[in-house]
Amino acid sequence: MSIKEKQEEITKAMKEWQTLENKAVAQTAKIMTETDHPLIRLVMEVIQRYSNMHHRVQQMIIDGFEQEFIGISPDDLVRVWDSIEDHIKLEKKTIEMAQAGLAALEGTSKTVLQQYLLTYLLVDEQKHDKMLADLDTIKKGMFKSA
Ligand SMILES: [Fe+2]
Ligand SMILES: [Fe+2]
């Protein structure tokens, strides 16, 4: 398959994915009208916001093909790396905090809500850490997809 064909295929898939994200926004809104429970509502709101973010990410994947200037080079990262390094430390600290919270609640009763939310936060903070680790790999000119 030519590069052009691959770009078209990915673009088509991203657009389909964006329709799913739009549906996710509508579905989570519907669920929020069906319950007053604060936890369920919060989970739906989190998913809804992520669906909006995912839509934007998919758009950048598309735009990156269409507009030459959207690319990323090691130099782009080197320019802001001191600040990113500080941020990496912050993310690592939040992972430790989530782990400490979960460890403190282990085996306790009536803390399902707290454990559920801390588990969510832990995974989310680990994702941020991974995103930054991948930027580091791009900075080193060594990024390869799996
Ligand atoms: Fe999504
Ligand atoms: Fe974070």
Per-residue pLDDT in tens (0 to 9) along the chain, 146 residues = 899 999 999 999 999 999 999 999 999 999 999 999 999 999 999 999 999 999 999 999 999 998 776 789 999 999 999 999 999 999 999 999 999 999 999 999 999 999 999 999 999 999 999 999 999 999 999 888 76
* φ, ψ for residue 69, nearest 5 deg: -75, -10
The length of the chain is 146
Helical packing angle, 112-139 and 38-66, nearest 10° = 20
Distance CA 28, CA 48 (A): 6
Q: Is the dihedral of CA 87, 91, 96, 101 positive or negative?
A: positive
Rounded to the nearest angstrom, the distance between the alpha carbon of 79 and the centre of ligand 1 is: 31
Written as six digits, the tokens of 15 are: 């657009």
How far is Cα 4 from Cα 20, in angstroms, rounded to an integer?
A: 25
**Ligand 2 centre from 97 Cα, in Å?**
11
> What protein residues have CB closer than 5 angstroms to ion ligand 1?
54
Q: Whole-model pTM?
A: 0.91
CA of 78 to the centre of ligand 2 (A): 21
